[in-house]
Amino acid sequence: MRFLIDFFPIGLFVAAYKLHDIYTATAVLMVATVVQTGIIYAIDRRLQTLHKVTLVLVLVFGTLTLVLQDERFIKWKPTVLYASMAVVLGAALWGWKKNFLQLLLGSQLTLPTPVWARLTVIWIGYFLFMAGINAYVAAYYSTEDWVNFKLWGYVFPVIFIVGQGLYIARYLKDDGSAADGEPKP
């Protein structure tokens, strides 16, 4: 269910682009993201920072795209989002000595502190990869190719989530074992 909630704005964006144009698709994305945020708030009774940042960036970059009639803004929005997330996680971890990933997910997942640190570095790498690949496709490919990449590019988060699950599974506590940061045998 959650995957469908996360996927439907991009799905509607791609459909609107295929049926109309990038500007119609951008308007649809903006409305769909507002609806998505409302649904998430209705379910969870709160919004995570990522949801708030995504909503703001979609609305700001979408408005710039529509007002200026320049598709580059909406195409570069994912790069800005991913790069911003990498910078925030990196600055928090190495500058402020805070692990935002652990602060966000620590109540849902119990992992040893060194694993949280490694996991945060993995997330930073993932965000930088996604920012870079979106920037590359946005800069060097047509809008049609970029929209197709947005649809089929969902394979990257799926692979990342599965890989992350496999990585942390061996560290999950099982009646107190693996508390020292060493994987379970």
C-beta of residue 100 within 8 angstroms of C-beta of residue 92:
yes
Output the average pLDDT for the chain. 89
How far is the C-alpha of 182 from the C-alpha of 185, rounded, in Å?
9
Closest CA relative to residue 112, chosen from 52, 47, 53, 168: 168
The pLDDT value recorded for residue 162 is 92
| Residue 48, helix vs strand vs coil | coil
Residue 175: pLDDT band (50, 70, 90) is very low
**Residues 6 or more apart from 26 whose CB is under 8 A from it?**
13, 62, 65, 66, 71, 74
Joined together, the tokens standing for residue 114 give: 């060194």
Mean pLDDT of 110-134: 94
Give the percent of the chain with pLDDT over 90: 63
Q: How many CB atoms lie within 10 A of CB 171?
A: 24
Whether 92 has a pLDDT exceeding 70, the answer reads yes
Read off the pLDDT of residues 53-84 as tens digits, 9 standing for 90 and up.
889 999 999 999 999 999 999 999 999 999 99
* Burial (Cβ within 10 Å: 0-12, 13-18, ≥19) of residue 162: exposed
Read off the pLDDT of residues 132-152 as tens digits, 9 standing for 90 and up.
999 999 999 999 999 999 888
C-beta of residue 79 within 8 angstroms of C-beta of residue 72:
no
Mean pLDDT of 34-61: 91
The pLDDT value recorded for residue 182 is 55
How far is the C-alpha of 92 from the C-alpha of 102, rounded, in Å?
11
How far is the C-alpha of 125 from the C-alpha of 85, rounded, in Å?
10
Closest CA relative to residue 118, chosen from 185, 183, 50: 183
CA atoms within 13 A on the CB side of 79: 14
Whether 179 has a pLDDT exceeding 70, the answer reads no
Residue 174: pLDDT band (50, 70, 90) is low
